[in-house]
Amino acid sequence: MEIAVVGLGVIGGSFVKALHEIKQPEDSIYGIDIDQTTLDFAREGGYIVYGEQKNETILQEADLVIMGLYPEAMKVFLKEHMNEFKKDAIILDTSGVKQILLKDIETYFPPQADLILGHPMAGRESRGFAYAEGTIYKNANFLLTPIESNKEENIEYIVDLLYEIGFGRVTITTPEIHDEMIAFTSQLTHAIAVALMNSDQYEDETIRFVGDSYRDLTRIANINENLWAELFMENRSYLLKVIEQFKEEFTKLEAAVEKEDVATLIELFQKSSKRRQALETSDYKLNKEREKIQIEKSRNDFV
């Protein structure tokens, strides 16, 4: 099988490395990346057999194409190359926002291939192929948002491949639910981390006073500014909604501190504790379910 990965940053690069681990002797992995040094590095490391800065022959021969591009770059790439994909190729998108992407690429859908939209819930603070690791996908969530034109057997093929790569849970959902949930679990968390980091008034001295909580909450404040500005803009209305929800809860807590209302404070702490424990419990339960799903090789329907 011929596999192409487009964009060898952390996401695409991690796919290259993960696929390298599980590939069969007859499989070959190719890379397309605007940066020649990255391609050379990937080839010299034995991860790809051949790379191109701009597609010349790779897409025409690839049975599976994994796109490691930002939403905007994804649109530009499809527009330029929509007719170059091999007949019946499967293309897997991995970008972070779905509704606007669908709208943007509406007229650039490769007619002869099957483009499947997906989103791995994993990443790294640092950028580039050097920081890519197949292990970032181990036990991670993967979200698939199939559209009507997708072939059932291709979705099943991708689900199997993702589990083989090591993803912990593949969920099939709609672009709308994806975007709403991601605004909460991913964009809001990044907004909070950035604001927390920027509200530090002490800078050089802070490090002496931190525990794990501050380290954990600010880790993602080291952020890829162009990618995240794009994601924030493209998921703007859902993000503004969850920002409001968070502010409401934060204000409840602030009011309790202000009024020295210990009873409410304890109630809020108990609620969050119960919820955080439930998150872990459902994580465990879903992992049990997953085992069954993997055996049956069936789709793991969420909606």
Size of the site for a second copy (CB under 8 A): 93
Shortest separation between residue 28's beta carbon and a second copy, angstroms: 30
Specify whether the CB–CB gap between 9 and 68 falls below 8 A.
yes
Binding-site member from 25, 148, 276, 301 for a second copy (CB under 8 A): 276
Nearest approach in angstroms of CB 188 to a second copy is: 7
Contacts of 152 (CB under 8 A, 6+ apart): none
- Which of residues 148, 205, 291, 301 is near a second copy by CB under 8 A? 205
Question: What are the beta bridge partners of residue 261?
Answer: none
Of 49 and 130, which CB lies nearer to a second copy in the complex structure? 130
List the one residue out of 49, 9, 48 whose CA is nearest residue 130.
9
127 near a second copy, rule: CB under 8 A: no
- Of 210-269, binders to a second copy (CB under 8 A) are 210-214, 216-226, 228-229, 232-233, 236, 239-240, 242-243, 245-250, 252-254, 257-258, 260, 262, 265-266, 268-269
Q: Which is nearer to a second copy, 81 or 169 (CB)?
A: 169
Q: How far apart are CA 254 and CA 95, in angstroms?
A: 36
In terms of C-beta distances under 8 Å and separation of at least 24 residues, what long-range contacts does 210-219 make, across chains too? 217/192, 217/193, 218/193, 219/125, 219/193
C-beta of 12: minimal distance to a second copy in Å? 17
Q: What are the residues whose beta carbons fall under 8 Å from the beta carbon of 65, sequence distance 6 or more?
A: 3, 4, 5, 6, 59, 85, 89, 90, 91, 92, 113
Q: Which stretch binds a second copy (CB under 8 A): 34-42, 70-78, 79-87, 117-125?
A: 117-125
Nearer to a second copy, 89 or 92 (CB): 92
Give the separation between CA 300 and CA 298, rounded to whole angstroms. 6
Nearer to a second copy, 12 or 110 (CB): 12
Is 197 among the residues that bind a second copy (CB under 8 A)?
yes
CB nearer to a second copy: give 157 or 302.
302
Min CB(62)–a second copy separation in Å: 28
- Residue 301 engages a second copy in binding (rule: CB under 8 A): no
Q: Which is nearer to a second copy, 87 or 208 (CB)?
A: 208
Contact 159, 47 (CB under 8 A): no
In the numeric block, which tokens belong to residue 168? 């912990």
Sheet holding 118-120, edge to edge: 118-120, 141-144, 169-172
Task: For a second copy, give the closer residue by CB, 95 or 218.
Answer: 218
Q: Packing angle between helix 236-258 and helix 262-296, nearest 10 degrees?
A: 140
- Which residues in 145-184 contact a second copy (CB under 8 A)? 169, 171, 173, 178, 181-182, 184
DSSP 225: H
Q: 51, 47, 57, 62: which is closest to 7 by C-alpha?
A: 51
| Between 152 and 203, CB nearer to a second copy | 203
Binding residues among 19-78 for a second copy as defined by CB under 8 A: none
Applying CB under 8 A, the span of 62-70, 86-94, 148-156, 193-201 interacting with a second copy comes to: 193-201
CB of 247 to a second copy, least distance (A): 8
